[in-house]
C-alpha cells in the first residue's frame, strides 16, 4: 500500500473534521434529558446514564484521536519535504 499524498491527507483531515463537527454532540440531547430526570426507571436509568456518559467520552476520544493521527502524518510529511 502506497503512502498517501499530502493532498489526500488534507482531504482526509477535512472529512474527519466534518464527521467530528456533525457527530460531536450526538449524545448531548440524551445527556441533557438524563440530567433533567426525563428518564425514569430506578437503577436502570442510572446505568443507562453511566453508559451514555462513557459512550460520549469514547466518541470524543476517537474523534480527537483520528484528527491527531492525520495531523501527525501531515507533520511527518512536511518535514520530509525540506
Q: Are 79 and 6 in contact (CB under 8 A)?
A: no
Each residue's pLDDT tens digit in the chain (82 positions)? 788 999 999 999 999 999 999 999 999 888 888 888 777 777 788 888 889 999 999 999 999 999 999 999 999 987 655 4
Report helix, strand or coil for 42: coil
Q: Where are the alpha helices (DSSP H) in the chain?
A: 6-23, 28-35, 43-80
Tell which residue, 78, 81, 64, has the closest CA to residue 13: 64
Residue 32: predicted pLDDT? 84
Q: Where do the domains of the chain lie? A: 6-14+22-80
pLDDT above 70: percentage of residues in the chain = 94
Amino acid at each position: 500500500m502506497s503512502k498517501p499524498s499530502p493532498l489526500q491527507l488534507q482531504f482526509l483531515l477535512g472529512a474527519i473534521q466534518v464527521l467530528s463537527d456533525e457527530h460531536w454532540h450526538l449524545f448531548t440531547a440524551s445527556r441533557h434529558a438524563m440530567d433533567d430526570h426525563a428518564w425514569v426507571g430506578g437503577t436502570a436509568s442510572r446505568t443507562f446514564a453511566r453508559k451514555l456518559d462513557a459512550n460520549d467520552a469514547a466518541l470524543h476520544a476517537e474523534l480527537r484521536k483520528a484528527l491527531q493521527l492525520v495531523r501527525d502524518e501531515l507533520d511527518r510529511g512536511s518535514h520530509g519535504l525540506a
